[in-house]
Amino acid sequence: MNARTGIVLSRRLVTCDAARATKADPLGVVEDGAIAIEDGRIVAVGPAAEVRAKRPDLSLLSPEPLPLVTPGLVDAHTHAPWVGSRDGEYAMRMAGADYEAIAAAGGGIVASMRAVREASRAEIASTLAARLGRMASLGVTTVEAKSGYGLDEASERKQLEAVRDAAARSDLPRAVPTFLALHALPPEARADRAAYVARVEREVLPAIAADGLARYVDAYVDRSAFSTDEARPVLSRARALGLGVRLHVGQFADVGGAELAAELGASSVDHLENVGSQGIAALARAGVRAVLLPVASFTLRQAPPPVEALRAAGVGLVVASDANPGTAPTESLPLALALAVRLYGLTVPEAILGATREAAASLGLGEQAGILREGFSADVVAWELSHENALVQPWGVSRALFALRDGALIAGRVD
C-alpha cells in the first residue's frame, strides 16, 4: 500500500518521546499538536501551528483535528502463528482444571503442536494474516510473533515462514520473528530429553539462523518446562549466531531464569509471576526489560508479578497480549493494557509506554516504532477517544479510527 503524505492534526498528541517528557507528563503530550508525514517517515512533530509553518507544502490528511493520536501500539510477546483451537481446555480451566495437569494429560502446547503439524504453511500464513489484520484494527502496528508450536524443525519452519510471508506485506502490522526453540518436549523426544535439546542447539537453530527466519530466540524456563542448564547452551548459541535472546521466566516457579537472562544480556524476560529479589536485581543491572502478560495470569488465576519491586529496581516494564490459543486466547493488546492497570497496578503512563516506547526498545526497533518523533517511521494511530486515560478502559471493541504503519494505512480509514 502507498504511504500517505500530509499532516495529521490532533487535539491531544501523545508522543511517548522521552525528550518531551517531564515528571508531570511522562508521555510527552502536545496539546493541539500535529505530525507531518512524508515517504513513510515523520518529518515534523509538535504544536500544530509550528508543524504547518515548517511544512506549508503538505496538505491535511484529515480536515478536522483528531481527538487523540498516539504511536502505533507494539505487541512484544505473541504466539500469533498458531492454528486450531483449545476452547475445550479453556472451559476445563475455567471449571478449575490445573494448567500443568492439562499439559501432562496431552493437552496444552502439545495439542497446538498437533494442529500446526497437520496444517500447511499456506494455512498457517492465511490464519496469521487474518489475525494480524484484526490486531491492526485495535491500533497495533508491530507484532512480535513466536514459533514454538511445531516442536520439530519442519513444523517450526512452517510457522516462521508464515511470519516471513506476513512481514513482506505492507498492509499488515510489522512482524518480528522469534524462534521459540525450547517450548515443550514433543512426545517423540520423551525417551531422550538431552538429545532433543542438543539437536535444537546444534542442528535446528543454526539452520534457522542461516535462512534468516528469526531475529530472536526464546526458551521457556520454568518448573515444568526447561531448566537453566538446558536453556543456556541453546541461547548462548543464538547469541553466537547474531540473534537476540528472549526468555519465558517464572510463570509458575522461580528456577533462576531471570539470572540466566541477565547473564546472557537478553532483550526481555516475559511473565515473571514468580521472581525473587536476586533475579530482579540481576535484571536491573543488565538492563533487561520485563514483559508483563496479564491476560495469561488472569486466565490462570495467578497473583501478579512483583511490579512494585521491578519498578523500584528500575526494570523497564513492557505490556503484551501473549496472544496464544491456551492461556491468553486474545488478540487484543488494549485488553492487556486494561488488565495491567486493574490487576497489576501499573499507572496509565506506564501501561501506554509499555506498549509503545518500552515495547519497541525491547524488540530493538530503533527508529521504527513506539515514538512520535522526527525521523521515526510514521507508525501512527488515531483514536475515537478524548484522552489517553481512556485507552486502558476495557471497551471490548476497537476505538481506533485508523492505523498507519510506515505511513501506509493498515486499518480504518483516513478521510
Residue 68 belongs to some domain of the structure? yes
Q: What are φ and ψ of residue 221, in 5° steps? A: -105, 105
- In this structure, are 40 and 126 located in the same domain? no
Nearest CA to 225 among 312, 129, 130, 110? 110
Report whether pLDDT(368) > 90: no
Q: Model confidence over 289-315: pLDDT tens digits?
A: 999 999 999 999 999 999 999 999 999
Q: Name the pLDDT band for 101 (thresholds 50, 70, 90).
A: confident
- In this structure, are 63 and 108 located in the same domain? no
Residue that terminates a domain, selected from 342, 362, 382: 362
Mean pLDDT value across the chain? 96
Identify the pLDDT of residue 398. Answer: 96
SS (H, E, C) 327-347: CCCCCCHHHHHHHHHHHHCCC
Q: Which residues contact 330 (CB under 8 A, 6 or more apart)?
A: 295, 321, 322, 323, 336
Q: What are φ and ψ of residue 248, in 5° steps? A: -80, 125
Report whether pLDDT(267) > 90: yes
Distance CA 141, CA 403 (A): 7
Distance CA 327, CA 294 (A): 10
Q: Which residues contact 397 (CB under 8 A, 6 or more apart)?
A: none
Report whether pLDDT(100) > 80: no
Average pLDDT over residues 257-266: 98
Total number of domains in the chain? 2
Average pLDDT over residues 339-349: 98
Q: What are φ and ψ of residue 29, in 5° steps? A: -80, 140
Identify the pLDDT of residue 107. Answer: 78
- In this structure, are 339 and 404 located in the same domain? no
- In this structure, are 145 and 256 located in the same domain? yes
Domain CATH number, residue 397: 2.30.40.10
Q: Model confidence over 386-415: pLDDT tens digits?
A: 999 999 999 999 999 999 999 999 999 987
- In this structure, are 233 and 380 located in the same domain? no
Determine whether 67 is exposed, middle or buried from the number of CB atoms within 10 Å of its CB (0-12, 13-18, 19+): middle
Residue 253 belongs to some domain of the structure? yes
Residue type, 254: D
Nearest CA to 315 among 345, 279, 263? 279
Q: Model confidence over 30-87: pLDDT tens digits?
A: 999 999 999 999 999 999 999 999 999 999 998 899 999 999 999 999 999 999 998 8
Q: 333-367 burial, b if ≥16 CB within 10 A, otherwise e?
A: bbbbbbbbbebbebebbbbbbbbbbbbbbbbebee
CA torsion sign, 337 to 343 to 344 to 345? Answer: positive
> 151: phi > 0 → left, psi -120 to 50 → alpha, else beta; which?
left
Residue 391 belongs to some domain of the structure? yes
Distance CA 315, CA 26 (A): 16
**Cβ pair 265, 245 in contact under 8 A:** yes
- In this structure, are 309 and 375 located in the same domain? no
Residue that terminates a domain, selected from 320, 337, 362: 362
- Looking at 143-152, 191-200, 310-319, 360-369, which range is the least confident one? 360-369
Residue 1 belongs to some domain of the structure? no
- Quote the percentage of the chain above a pLDDT of 90: 91
Residue that terminates a domain, selected from 362, 380, 402: 362
- In this structure, are 158 and 233 located in the same domain? yes
Distance CA 163, CA 309 (A): 35
- In this structure, are 220 and 114 located in the same domain? yes
- CA 327, chain centre distance (Å): 15
- In this structure, are 65 and 190 located in the same domain? no
DSSP 168-210: T-TTS-EEEEEEEEES---GGGTT-HHHHHHHIIIIIHHHHHH
Residue 22 belongs to some domain of the structure? yes
Report whether pLDDT(366) > 90: no
- Whole-angstrom CA distances from 369 to 109, 126, 180, 207, 355 are 31, 25, 23, 29, 11
Q: Which three cell numbers stand for residue 231?
A: 536453556
Residue 99 or 351, more confident: 351
Report whether pLDDT(1) > 60: no
**Cβ pair 178, 205 in contact under 8 A:** no
Residue 35 belongs to some domain of the structure? yes
Strands (E), 55-159: 68-71, 73-75, 140-146
Domain CATH number, residue 256: 3.20.20.140
Residue 229 belongs to some domain of the structure? yes
- In this structure, are 407 and 304 located in the same domain? no
Average pLDDT over residues 317-329: 96
Structural domain containing residue 129? 74-362
- In this structure, are 269 and 397 located in the same domain? no
- In this structure, are 149 and 211 located in the same domain? yes
End-to-end CA gap in the chain:
16
Identify the pLDDT of residue 124. Answer: 98
